[in-house]
Chain A
Amino acid sequence: MPAPVITATGLTKHYGDLVAVAGIDLEVAPGESFGLLGPNGAGKSTTMRMIGAVSTRTGGDLQVLGLDPDTHGPEIRSQLGVVPQEDNLDTELRVRDNLIVYGRYFGIPRAVCARRADELLAFAQLEDKARSKVDDLSGGMKRRLTIARALVNEPRVLMLDEPTTGLDPQARHVLWDRLFRLKERGTTLVLTTHYMDEAEQLCDRLVVVDQGRIMAEGSPAQLIREHSSREVVELRFGSQRNQAAAERIAGLGDRIETLPDRVLVYAADGEAVVEQVSRLGLHPTTSLVRRSSLEDVFLRLTGRSLIE
């Protein structure tokens, strides 16, 4: 097995009394696509910033490409591509110039920057926008340009912090396609997201983070197997009757969760549960059997209360 590109042991970050990251252990192998999942304020972005060598850790060990970010920040950052949560393209410059100027930060000669800019514009499907102003691009185009910019130094590790937040479904799918191509080329991807479908699409392996700690780790399929059932039955009896119905079906499936608008039964065989419910003389207004998803795992591990 090749040496990991990122190794963290007991990684912590405190801001005064606030503990943002409370001891995280992780390893990312070269070429792997690794995801950090978690609710807002879980410590994902702080972890990304420490890996990205722009935030000093409070404690623990961290090695990126075999180097310590505290002493070799510029060296590590020279091999990273970073796609931040909020675009920071230069709106004073045109699309192609954004790529060239950014390439210069890595000490890449102008002519090489210009050649790479053209290749990356093609990769990001923005060739006909080369001379456009950044402000004239759509949200999806800006994100693709930001990804193209992050690739200008041909990074070994591409770090993406919530890459598709705020994009429409079409734009998300185009972006996933581009990221998938990078993954095929062997680029290591490290991403944070709170879209579970995105994590399932892109990540070989992921960790669920909450309150600065890792709650679970594994491939999407593994996590579903370990933390949820194979299927989920969603029953709606009407908001007034859900609680009473849940009490009557107690014992069905592996676990029951009562929500204001529906009752969820986690079970290996959903259809069998629906039949049992019917045999008990209960008639939900709607019943739906679906496969368990990463979202079920996520909600189980991090809870349903809203964090803002």
Chain B
Amino acid sequence: MSVEQTTRDDATLAALAGAVRPRRFGALYVAEHQLRAMRAYGWTIVIGGLGQPLLYLLGLGLGLASFLDAPVGFGPDGPVPYVTFVAPALLVTATISVTTEEFTYTVMSGFKWRRVFWGMNASPLAPGQVATGLVLAVAVRMAFVAVAYTALIAAFGAVGHLWSVAVLPLLGLLGGMAFGLPLLAYSAGLRDDAGQFAAVQRFVFTPMFLFSGTFYPLATLPTWLHWIGWVSPLWHASELGRAVSYAQPMSGATVAVHLGVLVALAAGGWVLARRVFVGRMHG
């Protein structure tokens, strides 16, 4: 074998060996980085994660509920307290609001402000792994919020069945991702933030929060507003949460539709987001 051949083989073999771990674990490395970076605003996450549910549950459960004469939520054995009705929807709202931060400004920061995604791009990581890693890190933050919320809901006695605390955080995660992943795909395609993220907050998140049967059943709204609920991951996840928490009556088909919409939104957003990352980073 010539010296020439040896040199090239040596470099090529090193390259082939060098990508084995990144190809396998790349997304985890990205998640590790993102989670380390979150430590910079870790206290905001913890205080927000615990403080927000506390305020809502106190405000709605002890405050507003005392003015409500007619019951709004019903289990198989009759009406349930207002706070029990509203708690699953608040939980999903909280996980969704994580994404209005982490799948908007963090993405713009990665591509444009801190530019860290470009650093990742120059390493053996693939664009799809960058997207996956970001999603994993956000899922960790979301899981923290969902578990904290569920614990407080349970502490307020706002669950119908105690066993449901095992399922509610998962529904929170699914609802959060069903809203968040399409948002991630949208954000990753933006070159600049000319107010789009604030617009998402005001014109998508807020109306959805108000008109998705969060505080009262969707059926009480005029029929022409019902579509907001139908397209809203918040409504689908809240309905499932109510079915789990206090066995709000629901047919198997309805459960399947709610789950189907949430999974379809999350999966569709996920595929699209990965595609946008690849196009942008390896164009």
Q: Which residues of A contact B (CB under 8 A)?
A: 1-3, 5, 30, 52, 54-56, 65-67, 72-80, 82, 84, 86-93, 97, 101-102, 104-107, 149, 153, 156
Contacts and interface: CB of A to CB of B under 8 A. Distances in A.
A72 B17 CA distance: 12
A72 B13 CA distance: 12
A107 B22 contact: yes
B116 interface: yes
B11 A66 contact: yes
Given A74-B19, A75-B124, A106-B22, 5 more contacts: A3-B5, A90-B37, A105-B123, A106-B21, A107-B25
Interface residues of B, number: 41
Contact of B36 (A52, A79, A82, A101): A101
28 contacts: A3-B5, A3-B8, A52-B122, A54-B122, A54-B282, A65-B8, A66-B15, A73-B124, A74-B26, A75-B16, A78-B19, A78-B22, A78-B124, A79-B15, A82-B122, A84-B119, A88-B114, A88-B116, A88-B119, A92-B114, A101-B36, A102-B123, A104-B32, A105-B22, A105-B124, A106-B18, A107-B18, A107-B20
A3 B7 contact: yes
A1 B5 CA distance: 10
Contacts of B4: 1-3
A105 B126 CA distance: 10
B171 to A, nearest CB: 31
Contacts of A107: 18, 20-22, 25, 29, 124
B68 interface: no
A77 B124 contact: yes
A4 B120 CA distance: 26
B164 to A, nearest CB: 37
B15 A65 contact: yes
B236 to A, nearest CB: 34
A78 B18 contact: yes
B116 A90 contact: yes
Contacts of B9: 66
B209 to A, nearest CB: 29
Nearest to A79: B15
Contacts of A93: 36-37, 40
A240 B11 CA distance: 61
Contacts of B14: 65, 79, 156
B11 A156 contact: yes
Given A74-B22, A106-B123, A2 B114 contact: no
Nearest to B30: A105
A3 B22 CA distance: 27
Nearest to A78: B18
Contacts of A80: 122
Contacts of B283: 55
A75 B125 CA distance: 10
Query: What does DSSP make chain B's interface, helix, strand, loop or mixed?
Result: helix
A66 B32 contact: no
**Which of A54, A72, A74, A84 has the most B CB atoms < 10 Å from its CB?**
A74
Per CB-CB distance, the 5 closest pairs between chain A and chain B, nearest first, are: A107-B21, A78-B18, A88-B115, A3-B8, A82-B122
Contacts of B30: 105
Given A74-B22, A84-B118, A104 B29 contact: yes
Interface string B105-123: 0000000001110111111
Contacts of A153: 18, 123
Interface in B1-55: 3-5, 7-9, 11-12, 14-16, 18-23, 25-26, 29-30, 32-33, 36-37, 40
A92 B40 contact: yes
Nearest to B23: A74
A250 B25 CA distance: 69
**Which of A77, A86, A156 has the most B CB atoms < 10 Å from its CB?**
A77
A106 B22 CA distance: 6
B226 to A, nearest CB: 43
Given A107-B22, A107-B29, A55 B119 contact: no
A82 to B, nearest CB: 4
A106 B8 CA distance: 21
A82 B124 CA distance: 11
Nearest to A66: B12
Contacts of B118: 84, 88
Contact of A56 (B5, B122, B282): B282
B170 interface: no
A158 B97 CA distance: 42
A65 B14 CA distance: 9
B281 to A, nearest CB: 7
B45 to A, nearest CB: 13
A276 B119 CA distance: 58
Contact of A105 (B15, B29, B37): B29
Contacts of A91: 114
Contacts of B29: 104-105, 107
A136 to B, nearest CB: 14
